[in-house]
Chain A
Amino acid sequence: MTGTENEEMKKAQTAAEQGTSDAERTARQRKRSIAIAVSLALLAVLFYVATLVKMTGGIAEKAGS
């Protein structure tokens, strides 16, 4: 194999590895984004439900007094 062919093979290999690494990075970013979105949604639900619980507790106390 000539030196030029060797260099071309190495470039193709690096490009392929780069592509794979880019794809992996994109997949990891996607997973992180999904995890953040789910966490924020859970946080919103948590606040909503906790507010209901605290408001219900307040109304029950007022009704009792």
Chain B
Amino acid sequence: MSDIGLNDRLDRDDLALPVGGDVKDYVALLKPRVMSLVVFTALVGMVAAPGGIHPLLGAIAILCIAVGAGASGALNMWYDADIDARMARTAARPIPRGKVTPGEALCFGTILSVLSVMCLGLLVNWVAGALLAITIAFYLFVYTMWLKRKTPQNIVIGGAAGAFPPMVGWAAVTGGVSIESILLFALIFMWTPPHFWALSLYRMRDYERVGVPMLPVVAGLKETRRQILIYSLLLVPIGISPWFIGLGGWTYLATSSILGAIFLWYAVDVYRIREEGTDADARAKRLFVFSIYYLFALFAVLLVELTVARLMVWLV
């Protein structure tokens, strides 16, 4: 049991407690919930791509993308071990709890990164492999090691890492990039700032304590709410745009329009907050939770529509 408290100043080396982690601690390093979203969006990119891929190679591609995403998570936990120990949201992670040492997490993440990229490149194609390598490198070097502790725009630029998976899935099938895959990238890219800023509104104290320059800490709550509204206004038309280019059908149009309107409604509700307190936190949390359902629903409807369309072609 780690005796690290929230108020202790720590270096990464202080956390090298050699107690030997269990398999489940290493699985926790991979951030399974983030992995599941990555896998899902990559699968949609793969199904949306024209042409086909052998089911086994498709499954291998998904596995490599999942492992690559997990490796990014492990490397992020390695680098952020010092601040994770001091934030309530992350103090239960394996390294702060002393289950895995930072060195072990680094080794684990590095090996999985190299393996996932090599396997994707060798077994599927090198365009997908290269995109996966870019995703991992971007998340580690650009977001985690550079932007996160330097600028309040960390999540805007760094969020690109989470937007790559559908492009990787698309590239696994076609061997290239297209306007459709770029659009799926843009959807997640534009979704990331309001999603994470909504979280940071009610977790501001945590970020402030460890010196991470999230927007509410640097620019204040009012400005953050304004930015959330601006990005939400930009997100909604991008969310609908797959219908314009023929990627999504009428069900997608209806779903993206209705959910986009609700997203905007919640964003306006957050923007109109005048007093801090429990109600303000509740509204921010509601927007954060809804944003997860929003993205999941849009990609789920795309997946269902595309699958049905392919089945119809196959049956006829």
Contacts and interface: CB of A to CB of B under 8 A. Distances in A.
Interface of A: 24-25, 28-29, 31-32, 35, 43, 46-47, 49-50, 53-54, 57
Nearest to B24: A31
A28 B56 contact: no
B26 A53 contact: no
Contacts of B22: 28, 31-32
Interface size, B (range): 10 to 19
B211 interface: no
Interface in B55-96: 56-57, 60
A47 B123 contact: yes
18 contacts: A24-B20, A28-B22, A31-B23, A32-B20, A32-B21, A32-B26, A35-B23, A35-B26, A43-B119, A46-B123, A47-B122, A47-B123, A50-B56, A50-B57, A50-B123, A53-B56, A54-B57, A57-B54
Contacts of B311: none
A31 B21 CA distance: 10
B23 A50 contact: no
B315 interface: no
Contacts of A54: 57, 123
The secondary structure that dominates the A interface is helix
A25 to B, nearest CB: 5
A14 B4 CA distance: 23
A57 B56 CA distance: 12
Given A32-B20, A32-B26, A57-B54, 15 more contacts: A28-B20, A28-B22, A29-B20, A31-B23, A32-B21, A43-B119, A46-B60, A46-B123, A49-B56, A50-B56, A50-B60, A50-B123, A53-B56, A54-B57, A54-B123
B57 A53 contact: yes
The secondary structure that dominates the B interface is helix
B54 A53 contact: yes
B19 interface: yes
A50 B54 CA distance: 10
Nearest to B99: A28
B122 to A, nearest CB: 8
A43 B115 CA distance: 10
A26 to B, nearest CB: 9
Given A46-B60, A50-B60, A25 B54 contact: no
A25 B57 contact: no
B119 A25 contact: no
Contacts of A50: 56-57, 60, 123
Interface string B13-34: 0000001111100100000000
A25 B23 contact: no
Q: Shortest 5 CB-CB distances between A and B: which pairs? A: A50-B123, A25-B20, A28-B20, A35-B23, A28-B22
B23 A32 contact: yes
B2 to A, nearest CB: 15
Nearest to A42: B63
A54 B122 CA distance: 11
Contacts of B20: 24-25, 28-29, 32
